A and B are shown apart, each in its own frame.
Chain A
């Protein structure tokens, strides 16, 4: 289950707050109980402590109905005033450690949870950051503050998309972010600068500006993409994100899309681009996935296991929250609510960051220690014996009959990702690092994909195809999938198909109760 910003219903997620308006008496009471100027007596040191305490508290947050930690309420109230908000963001970028796998999550959660600042406050904050191409962070220097600034800018760019996002993308901010894409810069800072640019580009005016500035800087993204393959996991993430940005956002004239040049002939099982939540990024070879959204993104493999014993491995490029495991077709991806693989009774998943195994949205602790970037997660599904195993670097951490309690005939590899997490799947196209000491099959040896199915199309091309799709005018007014052919009795309204009509109790036009319906002669 995704933490916090995509989790605790009705509190903090940007999209989760859409979950219907309810009259929240508890919240009203909380507000009136607080003195208006209460935040003024809080020192900068207190704010820093509150932020670090939130970081600790968030780690223990796993259940969906859990109340968010008290620290978050306090910070939320401080942020109600512009000065308080600026102080929180400023403290946050100074204190959140780079090495904490939940650090980026805390920054996004706090910013997401706080009231939307007005443009003036954001501009004051950005001048406080004092950004320019001069404060570059070379490799080996302290990268904490610039990395955190990039994460914060990314959240603000997304939250304020529109004119305010244009206003914060000042020339100095652009100099800072684009300057960070150069070779001598610390790769962590490069990575999060690139992600911040991506989020600014959600506002089309910014996108045009960024594209122009990238061209003026000699297309640094092309240089990032062309860096030699590296065993360094941060460098690999930089290359992945550069390629994704070039395919999806900052297209460069003359560059071929990576799906046109990638060699996928030996790959017979991939992450399924037709079975993935909206914001997950998938590599052109279909084996690597990354989430930079604030939701909990999920994907299933193209090939289902139906009988026998199956194994696959995953290389973790990042050490944060991911839920890696197995899912049936029924398992739902509710990315904005924080539900993914392991969060219903049709899927099971291992999350080595929080050291948990998830099934039916409930977790149980497992051993093996906390996973790290570079670790290999393996999982074996033994259908005849009705048992599955998870391994961390070849050591078994969990085995159980979960998932075999419901009858099913198709089991898919699947995974869910919190913000800024990335991993690479091996379904058998490469040798396994820690194969279990038992007979098993790999998807790649038994699956097949058509040439069309091997293409991981950039999303904008996919959307363009959708938009150009033509839809018949005599379609059902509810689904537009089938032809309209029913008339409702007694009101007489028509224009719906049989499938939709069957789901209705009252007429969509006049709300008259439907006694029955007739099917129009064709």
Chain B
């Protein structure tokens, strides 16, 4: 195996020893840079009750560059597109090497509680979120039920 930086070993050990409530991140059996992630939909959000699968990959120059994260479970959210790509500043220009896998996943969970239709990635979803929030939330709940429960 191409040698693994201690930083990744350390983060993995901590994630397994002190898991974050509502989030599970398990390294792949054969690839220590690839994590299988499950995020619980936050209470009092349209995603409540859903289990969302994500994948997280640590690029070669991590932590000098951000982890690559994507939703695998379909989700109706203005900042997440249909390929599961996430619009979140800390995954792009606001990345800092002091952030960790743990903090990234917490931020993503927070994004589920607080969608931001003014910085959209999924344009049609964001549009609806702005003009008819009630309808958008109904859709989000329906998608959560359809794709993120018992799946």
Check A477–B57 contact: CB distance below 8 A.
no
Which of B6, B29, B68 sits near A471, CB closer than 8 Å? B6
Which of B1, B13, B30, B69 sits near A18, CB closer than 8 Å? B69
CB distance from A160 to the nearest CB of B (A): 9
Which of A162, A471, A503 sits near B36, CB closer than 8 Å? A162
In the bound complex, residues from chain B placing their C-beta under 8 Å from that of A115 are: 74, 82
* Alpha-carbon distance A466/B92, docked complex (angstroms): 30
Check A273–B69 contact: CB distance below 8 A.
no
Of A21, A278, A477, chain B has the most CB atoms within 10 Å of the CB of A21
Check A503–B64 contact: CB distance below 8 A.
yes
Contact with A along B89-114 (1 / 0, CB 8 A): 00110001111000000000000000
CB distance from A29 to the nearest CB of B (A): 11
Check A202–B63 contact: CB distance below 8 A.
no
In the bound complex, residues from chain B placing their C-beta under 8 Å from that of A463 are: 29-30, 32
Of A273, A336, A460, chain B has the most CB atoms within 10 Å of the CB of A336
Check B97–A279 contact: CB distance below 8 A.
no
Check B1–A276 contact: CB distance below 8 A.
yes
- A162-B36, A278-B31 in contact; A333/B2 too (CB < 8 A)? yes
* Alpha-carbon distance A202/B151, docked complex (angstroms): 17
CB distance from B33 to the nearest CB of A (A): 7
Of A24, A462, A480, A500, chain B has the most CB atoms within 10 Å of the CB of A480
Check B97–A275 contact: CB distance below 8 A.
no
Q: Count the B residues whose beta carbon is within 8 Å of the partner chain — how many?
A: 52
Residues of chain A from 296 to 351 with CB closer than 8 A to chain B in the complex: 332-334, 336
Check B12–A467 contact: CB distance below 8 A.
yes
CB distance from A155 to the nearest CB of B (A): 14
CB distance from B41 to the nearest CB of A (A): 15
Check A118–B151 contact: CB distance below 8 A.
yes
- A278-B30, A480-B6 in contact; A20/B85 too (CB < 8 A)? yes
Q: Count the A residues whose beta carbon is within 8 Å of the partner chain — how many?
A: 53
How many interface contacts (CB-CB < 8 Å) are there between A and B? 124
Closest to B30 in A: A459
Check A471–B63 contact: CB distance below 8 A.
no
Residues of chain A from 227 to 249 with CB closer than 8 A to chain B in the complex: 248
Closest to B13 in A: A467
Does A469 have its Cβ within 8 Å of any Cβ on chain B?
yes
In the bound complex, residues from chain B placing their C-beta under 8 Å from that of A509 are: 96, 98
In the bound complex, residues from chain B placing their C-beta under 8 Å from that of A185 are: none
CB distance from A280 to the nearest CB of B (A): 10
Which of B3, B30, B33, B83 sits near A17, CB closer than 8 Å? B83
CB distance from A11 to the nearest CB of B (A): 9
* Alpha-carbon distance A99/B98, docked complex (angstroms): 51
Check A116–B96 contact: CB distance below 8 A.
no
* Alpha-carbon distance A190/B74, docked complex (angstroms): 34
Does A399 have its Cβ within 8 Å of any Cβ on chain B?
no
Does A408 have its Cβ within 8 Å of any Cβ on chain B?
no
In the bound complex, residues from chain A placing their C-beta under 8 Å from that of B57 are: 15, 18, 336
* Alpha-carbon distance A504/B63, docked complex (angstroms): 12
In the bound complex, residues from chain B placing their C-beta under 8 Å from that of A14 are: 55
Check B96–A511 contact: CB distance below 8 A.
yes
Which of B2, B31, B53 sits near A275, CB closer than 8 Å? B2
Which of B29, B84, B151 sits near A164, CB closer than 8 Å? B151
Check B36–A18 contact: CB distance below 8 A.
no
Given contacts A20-B92, A116-B72, A463-B30, 17 further A-B contacts (CB under 8 A): A17-B85, A21-B87, A161-B36, A163-B150, A163-B151, A202-B29, A275-B2, A277-B2, A279-B31, A332-B60, A334-B60, A459-B29, A463-B29, A466-B4, A466-B32, A480-B6, A509-B98
List 5 A-B pairs, minimum CB-CB distance, nearest first. Answer: A21-B85, A18-B68, A508-B98, A480-B6, A278-B31
